[in-house]
Amino acid sequence: MYDKIVDILCSIKEDQPELRQSLSPETDLNNDIGLDSLQMIQFMLKVEDQLNVVIDYDQFDYEHLQSIDAFITFLKSCHPQEQPLYEDVKQ
């Protein structure tokens, strides 16, 4: 799961090719990576889509972004998607 999250972050911050080498499980998703609000939304949507989870935003908190490990721990508590999020759009 860690590698997939790193891939997603690197795809969103494609203007920073050196990012991958600077990431670790302790990397702070807010302060170390510098995602703006639009990038954060893109990140969350890609995580849901690519990891096949539904993020419970009622349970989601700032503390879950304090490290990649903390975010992964939170994701493990989320429910799997029953069906693709955008299935209706594909038809």
* 12 token code pair: 């969103």
* Residue 84, domain member (yes or no): no
Residue 82 domain-assigned? no
**9 assigned to some structural domain:** yes
Residue 42 domain flag: yes
Task: Give the closest residue to 3 by CA, choosing from 42, 51, 48.
Answer: 51
pLDDT digits (tens, 9 = 90+) for 11-67: 999 888 888 999 999 999 988 998 889 999 999 999 999 999 999 888 999 899 999
Pull the structure tokens for residue 74.
Answer: 């939170």
Are 36 and 5 a contacting pair, CB within 8 Å?
no
**Tokens 């995602």, located at residue:** 35
CATH number at residue 13: 1.10.1200.10
Q: How many domains, in total, are found in the chain? A: 1
Is the overall model pTM greater than 0.85, yes or no? no
85 band by pLDDT with thresholds 50, 70 and 90 = low
pLDDT at 91: 46
CB 54 within 8 A of CB 78: yes
